[in-house]
Structure 1
Amino acid sequence: MYDTQTASEPDFRVVDSRLMVKVFICFAVLALLSVAIALGGKWVGHRVAMAGNTTDTTQREIVIGNNVIAVPSNTIRFAQARRDGIAQRLDLYLRYPQMDGYSEIASDAFNHANGARKTILFLSFAEQAMSHDMSGRFAPIYSKLIEKPGTPGPAGITFYDFAEKTGYLNERLAVAERPGEEPFVARCLAELEAEDSLAPCERDVLVGDGLSLTYRFPLELLGDWKALDAALAAEMRRIVRTGAEPRTPAG
């Protein structure tokens, strides 16, 4: 029996087989690309939603001068600072009154969503540059720069305007007497400027060994200044230690 296919005619069975393999490969590649795009989209969306925040709670130890500040990564504001080692400055943010860092549960507070913009504290650590903190500077410095009498505020606070030529434009001083102690003192933006700021009040205190802590907070928390100051003092005792070396990171 003779084969009717001549030498010059293609073998369509081979062609069809090769074509099916190519089609299968194309579909497989497209399927993989589709999966990659979907996963990539989720990753990018997650990164955008995080907006620089992190839920990582890895403990970090940052050395400033003779102090070691031990805090989880999710309390450190800037990504490049989320590492162990020596630094000149450290910036944190904490949710008040929980005194915790960023998490999915606390995301609205940190992203200032749904009206949750009155609970975040911004903390900055640096080596001490002045001999006195803000409370200690009231009698020798601030008391000579303000206009008296002041205006009564919440929880025993008195607001004082700064004299015109002092350089403290659109600011006022919030002062509360503390029997047996130096007064509580904070500088706050004036009311109109304060409305556009998440943390218009600022106070600095000395902590650890030659370490200065400056913390900024919402104006609404002035009415809770006693509890706020106590909470921060307790947090400093917990996270700041002196005369210690940082641990060596694992791995």
Structure 2
Amino acid sequence: MTLATGETTGDSGAEPASRRHRLAIRVLQLCLVLLVLSLGIFLFGRWYGASLSNAGHTESVRLREIVIRNNVLTVPENAIRFKSARMDGVTLRLDLYLSWPELEGYTPGRRNDFNHVDGARNIIFLTFEEQVMSRDMSNRLEPVYRQIIETRSVAGPGNIRFHRFKRDSGYAGEVLAIAEGTGTSQPFVARCLTGAAAREALAPCERDINVGNRLSMTYRFPASLLGNWQVLDSAIKQKVARLLNAPG
């Protein structure tokens, strides 16, 4: 009886110790789970915050080869406007956005410009697509635009003259900006919005030029750059030439 009682007493003392050991393990496991969960929330918060900050932009400069018709454009991802287009392949249209005057894609240092904070207008928008018309804007001036604009004009910056479109032209609320060419150079021709539409638009002026192999490139830009149109147009053409001939 005494032996039995002693054995019973020994088992009773070991059982609480075993329970405490199991409880300690469970507490430790719970702490580890909470630690991992907290770390996950922290990392997700940083990723989500960065995602919100980038607002659909990317800092990646990985080069993508994009084919339109028989043209290959080699473009860094941060210059491609839409996320779905940041891949190699064939497409009918490609939209880019570039900072002015660098003509480079998105970087954290230019975040406010790309997000148009406080009405910032320092971004040029480019669209590449297959050429539909045989003539670009400069070559459409005489055979097309002269027929649908008013003869009277208003002086603008950089020797530009603004012409209103005739009422039945289909270009209501727009003006045609013309800077006559000198010598063998072509005239600079662009369409610009007017009034409230121009004040609200990030890039109210646009101009298209034919590039590459039957490729049309339209670039939209802030009206404030009209006074420096020679530098703007030359820089855009040089940039496009590099994109079309850049190494893969």
TM bin (shorter chain) = over 0.9
Over residues 173-210 of structure 1, what are the superposed CA-to-partner deviations in whole Å (9 max), with x where a residue is unaligned?
Answer: 11110113331110000032111010000100011111
Equivalent in 216, 221, 224 of residue 217 of structure 1: 221
Once the 2 structures are TM-superposed, how far is the Cα of residue 3 of structure 1 from its aligned partner?
4.4
The alignment partner of 1:161 has SS state of: strand
Asked if residue 146 in structure 1 is aligned to residue 177 in structure 2, the reply is no
> CA RMSD of the aligned region, Å?
1.9
Residues 175 and 186 in structure 1, CA contact (< 8 A), matched pair in contact too: yes
**Identity within the alignment, %:** 45
**Structure 2 Cα separation of the partners of residues 198 and 123 of structure 1:** 13
Asked if residue 64 in structure 1 is aligned to residue 74 in structure 2, the reply is no
Runs of 4+ with deviation above 4 angstroms: 6-10
Corresponding pairs, count? 243
Residues 134 and 204 in structure 1, CA contact (< 8 A), matched pair in contact too: yes
Instruction: List aligned pairs for 1:69-108, cutoff 5 A.
Output: 69-108=73-112
Over residues 199-239 of structure 1, what are the superposed CA-to-partner deviations in whole Å (9 max), with x where a residue is unaligned?
Answer: 00010001111110000000101111000000011112211
Instruction: List aligned pairs for 1:7-26, cutoff 5 A.
Output: 11-26=15-30
Over residues 123-171 of structure 1, what are the superposed CA-to-partner deviations in whole Å (9 max), with x where a residue is unaligned?
Answer: 0001110010011111111111111211110010111111112111211
> Residue 80 of structure 1 aligns to which amino acid in structure 2?
S
The alignment partner of 1:205 has SS state of: strand
Which sections of structure 1, spanning at least 5 residues, go unmatched?
Answer: none
Residues 174 and 187 in structure 1, CA contact (< 8 A), matched pair in contact too: yes
Determine the structure 2 residue equivalent to 1:232: 236
Once the 2 structures are TM-superposed, how far is the Cα of residue 76 of structure 1 from its aligned partner?
0.5
Once the 2 structures are TM-superposed, how far is the Cα of residue 7 of structure 1 from its aligned partner?
6.9
**Structure 1 Cα separation of the partners of residues 88 and 35 of structure 2:** 42
> Residue 206 of structure 2 aligns to which amino acid in structure 1?
E
Asked if residue 50 in structure 1 is aligned to residue 54 in structure 2, the reply is yes
Q: Greater shift after overlay, 125-134 or 175-184?
A: 175-184
> Residue 123 of structure 1 aligns to which amino acid in structure 2?
L
> Residue 175 of structure 2 aligns to which amino acid in structure 1?
R
Q: Greater shift after overlay, 10-19 or 59-68?
A: 10-19
**Structure 2 Cα separation of the partners of residues 192 and 43 of structure 1:** 38
Over residues 85-124 of structure 1, what are the superposed CA-to-partner deviations in whole Å (9 max), with x where a residue is unaligned?
Answer: 2111111011111111101122121112255x22110000
Determine the structure 2 residue equivalent to 1:159: 162
Which sections of structure 2, spanning at least 5 residues, go unmatched?
Answer: none
> Residue 137 of structure 2 aligns to which amino acid in structure 1?
M
TM-score normalized by the length of structure 1: 0.91
Asked if residue 200 in structure 1 is aligned to residue 204 in structure 2, the reply is yes
> Residue 24 of structure 1 aligns to which amino acid in structure 2?
L
Kindly indicate which of the two structures has a greater share of residues assigned to helix.
Answer: 2
Equivalent in 191, 195, 205 of residue 191 of structure 1: 195
**Structure 2 Cα separation of the partners of residues 204 and 216 of structure 1:** 9
> Residue 181 of structure 1 aligns to which amino acid in structure 2?
S
